[in-house]
Structure 1
Amino acid sequence: MLEMAYRFEDWDKMLNTAGILYSYAQCIYEEKQYHKAKKFPVPILDTERPLVYYFGFSHLMRGIVCQKQGKYDEARDSIYRYAELGWIEDLGVEGEEIAEEFRYLARANLYIVEILSGRTELLEGYARFLQDNPEELLPGLGTILQAAVQYGLDVDDLLHTFAEQSAGFGDFEDAGNLSHYFSYCYHLALYHRRAGRLPEALDWTIQSLVLAHQSRHDGNFKRCLALFESVREGVTEEQAGRYHEALKECLGQVVMKIPELLHVGV
């Protein structure tokens, strides 16, 4: 439920569900601690993952929502909470490994929150972090581009540094990476538009439009349409053709659904 809400940017749903998940985890943990204190047999709950995972994941999701909403102080608070989960007793080997994974995520996400909140002096250190942790490169470059657009930064040299690795972003197929890839493409289009590079802005706008359609995210699709219109004066014949093909594909899927709707009497 949380991952689906994230893909559709339903922040209220995410916050509510993350709160429920945390309250369940807290209730289970307190019950175990009570039984231990009273020297009663500790109840065993068969969960897919150790309890520490659900504590960490609920804080992680809450932090992401706060970041997306620009509530950076609240995002930091959530990050600090899943950065250190060692207070949970009886973690065991698997639990310790999970806690360590959340420490790593906290480090990566704290960079994002600090940079988006205006601490652009951290960009150099963040670039080194991305070089050492290439699995964070896609969301990382999306963050850098977002900050560049927001604060009027020139990050051409940094983009050139990662040009070879970023060329493979389009190969990702899972929903999570597609969401990150859309953000990367969309903010890259905005970045090129601000720099006056309309051909590049149009190329990345069309790519963003295609990704928004693939993910069936209407809000992102509308944003891409508006962005395309804002740079339309620079469109080439080839780009106009790709743009219209993308729109035709979208319209074609709508037309194909009409007989199905008629069949069920809608």
Structure 2
Amino acid sequence: MRPSILKLLNPDIIVEMLEMANRLEDWDKMLNTAGILYSYAQCIYEERLYHKAKGIPVPLMDMQRPLVYYFGFSHLMRGIAYQKQQKYDDAREMIYRYAELGWMEDLGVEGEAIAEEFRGLARANLYMVDILLGKIGLLEKYCCFLEDNPEELLPGLGAILQAATQYGLDVKDLLDRYAEQSAGFGAYEDRDNISYYCCYCYHLAIYHKQAGRIREALDWTVQAIQLAHQSRHDSNFKRCLALFEALRERVTAEESRRYDEVLADCLAQVVLELPEPPPAGVPI
């Protein structure tokens, strides 16, 4: 994309587009849009360096955050998309890019703080990618990291459970270790943490299913369905429904009741969101 066009873009709208693509799990869209955001940031940065070298005023741009944020966010979103596509080597490359943004000139106090925030995200996400790659020897170090960074515990345990189901690991001792903290996951009310908790419940259900603990698997599956519906995350909802149907033969009356309640509530919401029909005689 030509620099003259890039400079006309609003980076904060691109950030919103990336967040929407992430919620919709449109990974290809995320990669493409993140590439545009990176090109924008690179274009503006090069222009600033040119003006600085010439000793002329740097033009002001319409952006809500320091430029370093858009560099970091573009790499972060590409890393997430690659991770979800299980392209872990590509995800690691993106993580290394936003792990160190100190190469930028004139960061300032706010820019340094943003760069440090991305360094923290990089540490968390690099551990996660390595665990998903099956580097089980890092589990204890990862657990120490999670204990020092409790805000990462929920997504971290979700990743550990995903790796456990993928590689046939027994992580009962680890789950017991964090039983007290995980008991509070259900108190989260923000959308992102509800989505993380839904994934945690889903992978925990699969973990119990693989171990033959069908009762536990069903209980966590129903809970995951309720969370997916609560967060209105269609992809999670479909995955959880498919898992429930895979366990259908062992469903109890109570589990069936809870399942039917969720579906009834879902149907009621759909009906409420339907547009009103036009009055009789009015052409559609």
Normalising to structure 1: TM-score of the pair?
A: 0.95
Residue 162 of structure 1: aligned partner: 178
Preserved CA contact (<8 Å) 2:31 2:78: yes
Amino acid at match of 1:55: F
Residue 255 of structure 1: aligned partner: 271
Tell me how many residue pairs correspond in the alignment. Answer: 265
Residue 23 of structure 2: aligned partner: 7
How far does residue 46 in structure 1 lie from its aligned partner after superposition?
A: 4.5
Aligned match for 1:24, one of 29, 40, 48:
40
How far does residue 232 in structure 1 lie from its aligned partner after superposition?
A: 2.1
% identical aligned pairs: 72
> Which is further off, 39-48 or 181-190?
39-48
Residue 171 of structure 1: aligned partner: 187
Residue 201 of structure 1: aligned partner: 217
1:122-161 alignment to 2 at 5 Å?
122-161=138-177
How far does residue 65 in structure 1 lie from its aligned partner after superposition?
A: 0.4
Residue 68 of structure 2: aligned partner: 52
How far does residue 126 in structure 1 lie from its aligned partner after superposition?
A: 0.5
Cα distance in 2 for partners of 1:88, 1:257 equals: 48
Preserved CA contact (<8 Å) 1:25 1:54: yes
Amino acid at match of 1:250: C
Residue 262 of structure 2: aligned partner: 246
Preserved CA contact (<8 Å) 2:195 2:233: no
Aligned CA distance change for structure 1 residues 173 and 263 (closer, same or farther; 3 Å): farther
How far does residue 107 in structure 1 lie from its aligned partner after superposition?
A: 0.5
Amino acid at match of 1:241: R
SS of equivalent residue, structure 2 residue 139:
helix
How far does residue 177 in structure 1 lie from its aligned partner after superposition?
A: 1.3
Consecutive unaligned residues in structure 1, runs of 5 or more: none
Aligned match for 1:39, one of 39, 50, 55:
55
Amino acid at match of 1:48: Q
Cα distance in 2 for partners of 1:96, 1:135 equals: 21
Normalising to structure 2: TM-score of the pair?
A: 0.89
2:95 aligned with 1:79? yes
Cα distance in 2 for partners of 1:97, 1:256 equals: 45
CA offsets, 1:145-180, max 9 Å, x none? 000000000001111111111111112122221221
How far does residue 261 in structure 1 lie from its aligned partner after superposition?
A: 4.2
> Which is further off, 169-178 or 78-87?
169-178
Amino acid at match of 1:60: L
How far does residue 195 in structure 1 lie from its aligned partner after superposition?
A: 1.0
Preserved CA contact (<8 Å) 1:7 1:179: no
Amino acid at match of 1:104: G
Cα distance in 2 for partners of 1:57, 1:261 equals: 40
RMSD: 1.5
Preserved CA contact (<8 Å) 2:25 2:235: no
> Which is further off, 244-253 or 146-155?
244-253
Aligned CA distance change for structure 1 residues 16 and 238 (closer, same or farther; 3 Å): same
Consecutive unaligned residues in structure 2, runs of 5 or more: 1-16
Aligned match for 1:191, one of 207, 219, 238:
207
